Amino acid sequence: MIESITEKVKKLENDKGNKLFLTVDEAVNIASVMSKPLNANVVAHIVLLEESPVDKEIDENSGMQRQRNTVGILIGIRSTGRAEDTNTELVNIRKKLNEGLFGWVPKDGYKPLSKALCNMQKLQDQQLFWMERYSTTYYLESTL
């Protein structure tokens, strides 16, 4: 599922028809990502933040349990030092992400992506990191 979201984010464009992000990759350790200088003006790192059961028990009739995955898109913006420019860029990026991901089905068997908690992760040294989160559910099937 992460792979399909990464590929989708790579294809997103801004209002001028340019790629929304200069680089898009998958990440595991977001603290490490945020500790390094940005290698481009606008980047995205895709990370699986949470996988948890929605239902407490396996359905005995079907052998299935509903799971929720929450995926984060860590947006990194190299700031010009002008807060209003950085804020405008963040607003535009978030709008395009929502247009591309909200309601989109990332993989067969998964429900459409819904919006989850989004927030500032770090603002330092003219770098802004914002986490945009989306959740989906699917059924985990027992093989026993």
Domain ranges of the chain: 2-141
DSSP string, 14-47: -TTSSBS-SEEEE-S-HHHHHHS--SSSEEEEEE
Q: Count Cβ atoms below 10 Å from residue 50 Cβ, excluding itself.
A: 12
Pick the CATH number of 2-141 from 3.90.1330.10, 2.40.110.10, 3.20.20.140, 3.30.2000.10: 3.30.2000.10
Q: pLDDT digit of tens for each residue in the chain (144 aa)?
A: 999 999 999 999 999 999 999 999 999 999 999 999 998 899 999 999 999 988 777 777 778 889 999 999 999 999 877 788 889 999 999 999 999 999 999 999 999 999 999 999 998 888 999 999 999 999 988 877
pLDDT given at position 83: 80
